[in-house]
Structure 1
Amino acid sequence: MENRENYPSSPLADQYSAIPSPHSSTAERKPGGWRSIKYILGNESFEKLAAMSLIANITVYLSTKYNMSGIFLVTVVDVWSGFSNISSLAGAFICDAYLGKFYTLLFGSIASLLGMGIITLTAGISFLRPLSCNQNSKSECTNLPKSWQLGVLFAGLGLLSIGAGGIRPCNIAFGADQFDTRTEKGKAQLQSFFNWWYFTFTIALVVALTGVVYIQTNVSWTLGFAIPTACLGISIAIFLLGYHTYINVKPRGSVFSDTFKVITAAYRKRRVEISHDNRAFYDPPVTDYELKLPHTDRYRCLDKAATITTPDELNSQGVAKNGWRLCSVQQVEQLKCLIAVLPVGVSGVGALMTMDQNTTFGILQALQMNRSIGKNHFMFPPGWMNIVSMVTLSIWIYVYERIYIPQARKVTGTRDKRLSMKQRIKIGIVMSILSMIVSGIVEIHRRNSALKQDSFISPASVALLFPQFSLTGLTEAFAAVAIMEFLTLQLGENMRTVAGAMFFLCISIASYAGSILVNVIHSVTKISGKSPWLGGHDLNKNRLDYYYFFLAALAGLNLVYFHFFASHHVLTSSPDCETRDQGHDFATSHSRNPSE
């Protein structure tokens, strides 16, 4: 990198800059570079604006227009979120094995457009929704959606999930492919690309969470959904305009296929003795586009998959005849890298599960609070609560990068005093504990004030929710970002789409785990005949505060688990996975001025 002494490096940029370039070594590179990036960033900005405007307000839409409440509402949102994230695994597989990044992104964008179009129709055509109810009434709504109405809604949400599966694991990786990292100029351009990507993402997020969400809540849901639908159409048009400028790296096979091959081959050879002589392993040279992973001694049972038991397993050219019986050392080491990230991934799921609560129960709290702000009685849209988390995240990035780091350097006299990856994850888990405790305390006040006045809407101000959403933003800034960075660095360069998919898999598991937990707690707490902690249209009849405190206890167990077990897997300095706990921060490296 140029000027490495002056500028903190981006872990993603470092990761990609070590990758053999996808560009031909014999021909002058004409496409790619910034000529392509402007189309990619344009596509990404409009796509993210559309996606985030729906994600931020889906709870409010389902509550007010589909009369969903309690357990069913939370389950629908969690399952949809989980499917959207777990589909990234399928998207990464299809991308690496068959379509490549361009066509995976294109088909994903088209699926998202169709899904958003269906959601817009549900808002604009009244018979696609149940009859409305008085949302401020304490009585349960009896106008529930019919099965076919839910079918139309779920079809739209399903297409959006399929689209997310194609877009999420490929968008950053496709942009990184456009730069020739064999040169110092290409490396510097790559780091600048990550800055610009985060900058445009933030702008799209601000527009989605302010303008579009406000239109949805206070003007018209139809117009509020038509805008992101149009944005998706524009994003596809921009993406196609740059077709002739893109560098398209051909698919080279999926890591997931190799994973199943290694497991199958190791099982078939489970009785084979592992030789300590590496010459007994099948270790052919890798392609020009891959980073060679040297053999390691961990998870030795998997080495059986690469053990040559008889000469008949190789053909006359020395190539394995059956990939399901004999795998290369490279394939085995890739699976070892995947296994190595699991302990930290478990802690990530715990932290992400607490973050999910504010997108569901936090928004439901806002719906039953006084949202009037200022002398003009401006009605604060519930979907805007997510802005609090984003603003907190942005403030922390600025403070960390512009105040903490320079002052720490002056005091200690050392060049780099960044928080290590382990420290950031641990702090993030602590923030998740605090966010649940604060959420429980606020809920006690909200509920008591509502019951005191015998009112569905609590007189407590919605501003009381700001601290818990701020703590959620800090949980993301520390834990979620550090875990994303850990996955990116832990997995090899040829697993770049897998790294993104693994992070979204953690989010998916967190969503499903949260949904299961909500249903279990509802079933268990209603056994005694008393009002259950969760469920129903009116939070005042529940004990959401108990649920928050229970989650705080689980987060405490997560902290103990990470401190005594998972944290030892963060300090991986093994060269096979190109991992170092250097304390580089994914978020802060992106927060720098894009012109640098």
Structure 2
Amino acid sequence: MAPEPDQTSSDPLLLPHRETPTGGWKSALFIIWVEVAERFAYYGISSNLINYLTGPLGHTTASAAAAVNAWSGAASMLPLLGAAVADSWLGRYRTIVASSLLYITGLGMLTLSSMIPSSESQQCSISANGQRVCPPSSLQTAFFYVSLYLVAIAQSGHKPCVQAFGADQFDVTDPKESASRGSFFNWWYFGLCASGTVTIALMSYVQDNVGWGLGFGVPSMVMLLALVIFLLGTRTYRFYDSDHGGAFSSVGKAIGAWRKRSQEAALQELEHGGESSEDSMVAEEVKGLARLFPIWAACLLYGVVFAQPPTLFTKQAATLDRRIGPSFQVPPAALQCFLGVSIISCIVLYDRVLVPVARGVSGVASGITMLQRIGTGIALSLVTLLVAALVEMRRLRAARDAGVVGVPGAVPVPMSLWWIVPQYVLLGAADVFAMVGMQEFFYDQVPGALKSLGLALYLSVLGVGSFISSFLISVIDRVTRRNGGTSWFADDLNRGHLDYFYLLLAALTALELIAFAYFSTTYVYRRKA
């Protein structure tokens, strides 16, 4: 058994849980504000990234959407590696600090990349949306992508550890704190969405109307502020012994023990009285991780749906009449604010209205189970896709009737931006059920020492979903352009067929919902120690 940390040490990283009269909502709110700042930085880059790629970098709509999805996928998958580093070596606190420093570096480089001038020898042109586009130099493109993926690497340690560290501030063995932890996941997502909503409204306007240098520079400064806030709160945090790592080595020991026992004769196992209690415990941890895989796999198509607002929804919105008043025009990416407003409203209704009512009916403390919550979110995402397909059909019909199909320049379709708002609102409601449900489920159901890995599993759903979306867009674009055909994702969306793509995703989501219902009805929740 490893020796206990020195109980007289003043280093908060070495204090065992029982010696730290800290934690609770005071510490959790401190960490929530850090994540709010980090989300401001992240959405300040990601929400309008497709317009940067199709504008200053000169990508086609299909290649830009695929590139954004691939980057989002990497940013969501790499937390599996970050969780492994945190849980087996650095601990969550140190991983957060190291990742934040790398984050600031990546954002600073991204700001510099947007300021590298294009080659004057290259000929500029007018894009389909009326913007003057000068092809970037190869140096600018390479530096941009290096910077962008440095941000993704930084996310790998930040995302799984900050939320797990925040949830660690509540003691699951204390009934009052255990109940508070359920609300923590709701209000955590509330803070993230409030930050994202403000960010998208502010930064999309700055990037479209002021400049990309300032549009990328502000998020880098906000991320620096986030690190300062996190460090200032160090003395208020509750640290667990498990935060020093060792979880993955325990799983490794379990796998090794299984391998050794498989090579022993049954008689020898009986003679020695079977497996040790320690081997039995770590073996159960491995089994517990394996039990989560069917649920994880059945959520992947939700990750595909989640990838659409910052890419195809945004390009779709760019074709509409976005005027409000005589002169103000809403930036296309700013319509993602309706997603955030919907989430914020639905979280309040869920936590304060639905849960108390459902609790009285079901007798379950959380109102509905975590898997029921996720399933409801998947069903709502199916409705979202059907509505998006119907809206796109009407938009294409309006474009044909107005004669703007194939017309060069930024000629809007005579159709108000309010037509596209319902799909954002519905997806926001779906997020409150599916996204928050996945966060709590994977955090709650992994073995005790692997909480960072649990949240990384939830993020990997979004990562794999983004990769699937990138793959589908690339393949469909290639197939539909074959033999002189028109791509579903044509640069002139009035000639494309996003409605077909949304209907395809809806069919796949319906199959996913059936699979999820099957696996969730056979799943047995892990009992708390």
TM-score with structure 2 length normalisation? Answer: 0.85
Amino acid at match of 1:546: Y
Q: Which amino acid aligns with 1:204?
A: S
Question: Residue 463 of structure 1: CA displacement?
Answer: 1.7
Q: Which secondary structure state, in structure 2, belongs to the residue aligned with residue 168 of structure 1?
A: helix
Give the corresponding residue for 2:310: 359
Whether 1:349 aligns to 2:300 is yes
Q: Deviations over 1:258-295 (max 9, x none)?
A: 445544554565455668969311323xxxxxxxxxxx
Give me the whole-angstrom Cα distance separating, in 1, the residues matched to 2:187 and 2:525: 30
CA distance in 2, matches of 1:273, 1:371: 73
Q: Distance in 2 between matches of 1:520 and 1:235?
A: 40
Deviations 1:213-267 (A, max 9, x none): 3222233322222221111111222223334554544554454444455445545
Distance 2:54 2:516 in 1: 37
In structure 2, the CA distance between the partners of 1:400 and 1:174, relative to structure 1 (3 Å rule), is closer
| 2:507 matches 1:553 | yes
In structure 2, distance between residues paired with 1:574 and 1:481:
19
Contact 2:125/2:134 (<8 A) preserved? yes
Deviation at 1:414, TM superposition (A): 6.3
TM-superposed CA distance for 1:347, in Å, is 1.7
Please tell me whether residue 118 in structure 1 is matched to residue 112 in structure 2: no
Shift of 1:83: 0.9
Residue equivalent to 1:45: 36
In the TM superposition, residue 387 of structure 1 has moved relative to its aligned partner by: 1.6
In the alignment, what sits opposite 1:568? 521
Q: Percent sequence identity over matched residues?
A: 29
**1:218 alignment partner in structure 2:** 209
Name the CA shift for 1:135/1:459 in 2 (closer, same or farther; >3 Å).
farther
Instruction: Show the counterpart of 2:5.
Output: none
Give the corresponding residue for 2:291.
340
| 1:235 pairs with 2:226 | yes
Corresponding residue of 1:301: none
User: How far off its partner does 1:419 sit?
Assistant: 3.1
Residue identity opposite 1:522 in structure 2: D
Q: Paired residue for 2:142?
A: 151
CA contact (8 A) 1:56 1:383 kept: yes
Distance in 2 (CA, whole Å) between partners of 1:466 and 1:274 is 64
Number of aligned residues: 507
1:146 Cα offset (Å): 4.0
Hey, what's the Cα distance between the residues in 2 that align with 1:183 and 1:489?
A: 15
Distance change in 2, residues 1:100/1:369 (3 Å): same
Deviation of the 1:503 alpha carbon: 0.6
1:341–1:569 Cα contact (<8 Å) kept: no
- Partners of 1:134 and 1:188 lie apart in 2 by 57
Distance 2:29 2:365 in 1: 33
The reply to whether residue 280 of structure 1 matches residue 234 of structure 2 is: no
Could you tell me which runs of 5 or more consecutive residues in structure 2 were left unpaired when the two chains were aligned.
1-12
Unaligned runs of 5+ in 1: 1-20, 285-327, 580-596
Deviations 1:318-339 (A, max 9, x none): xxxxxxxxxx222221111111
* Contact residue 186 and residue 436 of structure 2 kept, 8 A: no
CA shift digits 1:101-130 (9 cap, x unpaired):
121101111111111112212333433998
The alpha carbon displacement at 1:23 in A equals 5.2
Cα RMSD between the aligned structures?
A: 3.4
Match in the other structure for 1:322: none
Instruction: Give runs of aligned pairs for residues 248-397 of structure 1, distance below 5 A.
Output: 248-249=239-240, 251-260=243-252, 262-263=254-255, 266-267=258-259, 270=262, 272=264, 279-284=273-278, 328-373=279-324, 375-397=325-347
Structure 2: how far apart are the matches of 1:556 and 1:415? Answer: 28
The 1-side partners of 2:183 and 2:355 are apart by 21
Alignment TM-score, normalising by the size of structure 1: 0.76
User: Measured at CA, do residues 23 and 279 of structure 1 come closer, stay the same or move farther in structure 2, by a change above 3 Å?
Assistant: farther
SS of residue in 1 equivalent to 2:298: helix
Q: What is aligned with 1:432?
A: 381
Structure with the higher helix share, 1 or 2: 2
CA deviations 1:465-490 (Å, max 9, x no partner) are: 11111222122122232222221221
Q: Which amino acid aligns with 2:69?
A: D
Contact kept? 1:66, 1:145, Cα under 8 Å:
yes
1:383-422 to 2 correspondence within 5 Å? 383-405=333-355, 418-422=367-371
